[in-house]
DNA sequence: GTCGTTGGTTGCGTCGTAAAACTATCGGCA
DNA sequence: TGCCGATAGTTTTACGACGCAACCAACGAC
């Protein structure tokens, strides 16, 4: 296999961003904060200077601003080796955001800080398929209240991000349709906003947020891959596309519906109005029905049954793997994203489906000979919640200027 | 249909670009030049200031630099209305680039200037299917020599961009594989570089360049859509994805192979190693074979035959439309790109296939109720050549600083 | 206790933009 | 014909942000 270096013959257009002088400072504040956030081991001012190319004097001034603004904390000096001991810099543990997630099997709230640490978590696993929204949202509110208790004294909660398994409006304010919950045209805010007390709440598609979290597992820190397709396999199949560490949201924010890409056009009709959609072969509902099992069967159970010799279960899983492999090969052909991430419940079948999916990718991707192809599992079990919190925390790293406390 | 405003809940990560002070000037030079290039009617310095938000003094200085650097020309003052007459600013007509295109049916060279005008063009329509590369490249060299004659006195040719119907290496230097020409692992440079005399030559995929030209028909000028799938239908089917006015090249530059997305997995075997690929149903070779016509039949002829009552031709076209509609609906579901652009030879069938493709998109795209969907034809008949020239010209607008003559 | 080493700060020069005053050149009008 | 208003463009001055280099701070080693 030949590996090719990254260089794009088609130029990337620079956004026509007018630059005032303050733009310069804001950009460099971002560079410094990103550097502090991205470091595995805490950096000193001098370390940031060495890493970014800015001079120590400039870094010093910018760091002072970030410290004064409450985004960076100075640790106690480390004593090691000759010279003046360095002052370690850490993203503030007082800057937090809340991630929320509701899907058919999980309700969860997470509090993350700017270091990307999970400060608190509260969750439950009810069955919300075809449920009334009120019950699920009340449960979510309980979890939210619990994690809000854990906000450190003097801490700031920048926002809350709610991951939902469906189509969210472009403003991130309403859930338009979550077919697998049976929820439609809904403002999930009222129950939550009272608790949030002015803290902004943003809604987004679960898979998009999960993919964001996979691409950027902590604010300013890059994940193992920046070009991947994320498959969120629950009752249905959601997805997201990440290129160059950016989640592709599309023009209206509807991108990522990989579950409704065609696998067998003309095949199983799908409630979406189409037929033969991937979801009709690789979604939990489709798989359990094919295996002749009750719809509440989890994919983990399905996998165990298949391992135990349940032929129909094994067949259903194999068909799902075929469907995923074919569709994902198409996606890789279209977008040259060499990594496939399996997240959500379908991750529980990773051992069974990864080999077949990998095989199909290698066989069906045109440029397979020129690129590595890998299928990996997302280890986070509530990645939507993580992504919901990162939704707000990442904004801080992207542009710290607007988040400095006066 | 509800239209939704554009706003993305998932944040767009800002590249960690360190900003020096010169960065500021370079960015604003770009803002000014882009403004000059994008204007329908020539702008004055004051007009640029009004349009960009920069002050007149700053604009004046930057424009002076661009004029001194040979990128912008001052026209003769216009006399209209009260006040001091404005000095119209125009992108320099002396700054040019060459676009080159070779595919199975076209060999072309175009000279474009920074205004996006076609200064000269030379082309021919040989049949290069299964040909020896040398003949086609010699022909291309003739066309290149001809358009180079048209470079204005004192003009600068920034580069040449060659569009090829195949996979190009990431550096833009070698053609790895062009299945429909029968060319493989080839450096097309030698014949051309002698003529180019040091002018840089870049290679890229034909559909990617065509899509670039559609998104940015002239340097710095935006096309009618910035979120679209481009289908380049020739002997095979190439493609490109554009989101937010940027061509998605993928990690290794291989993105866009829409022709090898699955339409009927398990169906017609494809030389790519897969089966049921879109290209096996909507490529010219597949369509003419299905219609029982000789492989040299053009799609325009096929369309005329179908119009004249040739049943097999009509069926082949209908199947192609079905295949395109199904696959493109999947792409739209995945990427939320509401526009499909038909380019290349398949554009000659636009009248016959557009209705069916549109119908399938409306039926199979999940969020169809929330977004407009349109299928349009690319009017450029050698869009790869246009894109090849724009490859270089766009870089100037993106960052003029590096192109100022001392 | 002195020296070398590294971290961090301070003062000054340069660059680039903003603001405002000033100059240039038109049409209109008495 | 000469003045005025209006618009285009330039010049002057101020300010903000970075780089550079000298300086101060705090450690280990001897």
Which protein residue has its CA closest to C1' of C18? B55
Contact A89, A50 (CB under 8 A): no
Contact A109, A99 (CB under 8 A): yes
What is the SS3 assignment for B394? helix
As a whole number of Å, the end-to-end CA separation of chain A is 55
Burial label, B396 (beta-carbon count in 10 A; 0-12, 13-18, 19+): buried
Per-residue model confidence as pLDDT tens digits over A138-182: 999 999 999 999 999 999 999 999 999 988 888 888 898 888 888
A366 to chain B nearest CA, in Å? 6
pLDDT of residue B299: 94
A153 to chain B nearest CA, in Å? 28
CB atoms near residue A270 (< 10 Å): 22
Which protein residue has its CA closest to C1' of D8? B84
State whether A371 and B10 contact (CB < 8 Å): no
pLDDT of residue B77: 77
Q: Rounded to an integer, what distance in angstroms lies between the CA atom of residue B220 and that of residue B30?
A: 10
Region A316-340 average pLDDT: 97
- The DSSP code for A178 is E
State whether A254 and B366 contact (CB < 8 Å): yes
What is the SS3 assignment for B135? helix
Given a cut of 50, whether residue A2 has pLDDT beyond it is no
- The DSSP code for A314 is H
pLDDT of residue B172: 85
Contact B286, B297 (CB under 8 A): no
Sign of torsion, CA A213 B333 B379 B32? negative
- Profile chain B (406 residues) by mean pLDDT over runs of 10 residues: 32 51 88 92 90 91 94 83 85 96 92 96 87 87 94 93 90 86 86 88 95 96 95 93 94 93 95 93 95 92 95 96 97 96 94 96 92 94 96 93 87
Contact A385, A403 (CB under 8 A): no
Per-residue model confidence as pLDDT tens digits over A360-381: 999 999 989 888 999 999 999 9
Q: Rounded to an integer, what distance in angstroms lies between the CA atom of residue B157 and that of residue B199?
A: 7
pLDDT of residue B14: 37
Q: Is A80 left (phi over 0), alpha (psi -120 to 50) or beta?
A: beta
**Is residue B272 less than 8 Å (CB to CB) from chain A?**
yes
Which protein residue has its CA closest to C1' of D15? A21
Contact B352, B384 (CB under 8 A): no
Spatial neighbors of A293 by CB under 8 A, at least 6 apart, are A301, A302, A305, A313
- The DSSP code for A260 is G
Nearest to B140 by CA among B379, B382, B393, B342: B382
- Pick among B246, B330, B339 to test the A interface (most A CBs inside 10 A): B330
- Strand D contact at CB of residue B45, distance < 7 A: yes
pLDDT of residue A124: 92
Phi, psi of B266 (to 5 degrees): 90, -5
Region A21-45 average pLDDT: 90
pLDDT of residue A29: 93
Give the CA distances from residue B377 to residues B161, B228, B343, B348, B383, in Å, rounded to whole numbers and listed in that order. 23, 12, 6, 9, 12
Tokens of B118: 């076609």
Spatial neighbors of B308 by CB under 8 A, at least 6 apart, are none
B79 to chain A nearest CA, in Å? 30
As a whole number of Å, the end-to-end CA separation of chain B is 55
Give me the percent of chain A exceeding a pLDDT of 70. 95
**Is residue B46 less than 8 Å (CB to CB) from chain A?**
no
Region A28-39 average pLDDT: 93
Beta-bridged to residue A99, according to DSSP, are A110, A161
Residue B216: closest C-alpha in chain A = A13
Contact A48, A31 (CB under 8 A): no
State whether A30 and B23 contact (CB < 8 Å): no
Q: How far is CA B83 from the centre of its chain?
A: 42
Tokens of B346: 């398949």
Q: Which residue has the tokens 């995923």?
A: A324
Per-residue model confidence as pLDDT tens digits over A283-311: 999 999 999 999 889 999 999 999 999 99
What is the SS3 assignment for A365? coil
Burial label, A193 (beta-carbon count in 10 A; 0-12, 13-18, 19+): middle
pLDDT of residue B79: 67
Q: Which residue has the tokens 């209705």?
A: B355
pLDDT of residue A18: 64
Given a cut of 80, whether residue A110 has pLDDT beyond it is yes
At residue A342 the predicted structure's pLDDT band, cuts being 50, 70 and 90, is: very high
Tokens of B382: 């050698």
Instruction: For B169-188, give one letter per residue: b (16+ CB within 10 A) or e.
Output: bbebeebbbbbbbebeebeb
- Pick among B269, B334, B336, B364 to test the A interface (most A CBs inside 10 A): B334
State whether A11 and B336 contact (CB < 8 Å): no
Tokens of A59: 């870094």
């Amino acid at each position: 296999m030949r590996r090719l270096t990254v260089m794009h013959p088609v130029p990337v257009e620079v956004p026509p961003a007018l630059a005032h002088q303050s733009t310069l400072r804001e950009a460099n504040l971002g560079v410094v904060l990103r550097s502090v956030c991205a470091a595995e081991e805490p950096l000193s001012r001098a370390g940031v200077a060495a890493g970014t190319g800015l001079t120590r004097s400039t870094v010093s001034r910018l760091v002072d601003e970030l410290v004064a603004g409450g985004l960076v904390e100075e640790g106690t000096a480390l004593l090691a080796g000759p010279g003046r001991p360095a002052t370690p810099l850490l993203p503030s543990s007082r800057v937090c955001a809340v991630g929320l997630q509701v899907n058919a099997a999980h309700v969860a709230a997470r509090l993350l800080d700017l270091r990307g640490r999970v400060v608190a978590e509260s969750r439950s696993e009810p069955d919300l398929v075809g449920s009334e929204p009120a019950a699920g949202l009340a449960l979510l509110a309980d979890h939210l209240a619990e994690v809000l208790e854990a906000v450190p004294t003097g801490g700031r909660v920048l926002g809350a991000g709610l991951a939902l398994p469906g189509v969210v409006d472009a403003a991130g304010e309403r859930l338009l349709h979550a077919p697998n919950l049976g929820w439609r045209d809904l403002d999930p805010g009222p129950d939550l906003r009272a608790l949030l007390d002015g803290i902004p709440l943003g809604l987004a598609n679960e898979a998009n947020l999960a993919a964001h979290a996979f691409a950027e597992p902590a604010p300013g820190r890059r994940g193992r891959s920046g070009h991947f397709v994320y498959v969120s396999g629950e009752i249905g199949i959601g997805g997201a596309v990440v290129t160059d560490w950016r989640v592709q949201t599309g023009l209206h924010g509807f991108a990522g519906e990989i579950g409704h890409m065609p696998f067998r056009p003309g095949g199983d009709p799908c409630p979406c109005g189409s037929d033969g959609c991937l979801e009709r072969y690789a979604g939990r509902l489709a798989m359990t029905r094919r295996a002749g099992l009750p719809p509440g069967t989890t994919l983990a159970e399905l996998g165990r049954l298949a391992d135990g010799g349940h032929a129909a279960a094994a067949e259903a899983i194999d068909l799902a793997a075929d469907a995923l492999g074919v569709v994902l090969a198409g996606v890789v052909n279209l977008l040259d994203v060499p990594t496939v991430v399996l997240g959500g419940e379908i991750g529980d079948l990773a051992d069974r489906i990864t080999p077949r999916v990998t095989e199909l990718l290698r066989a069906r991707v045109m440029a397979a000979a020129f690129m590595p192809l890998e299928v990996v599992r997302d280890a986070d079990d509530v990645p939507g919640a993580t992504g919901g919190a990162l939704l707000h925390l990442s904004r801080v790293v992207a542009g710290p200027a607007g988040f400095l406390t006066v």
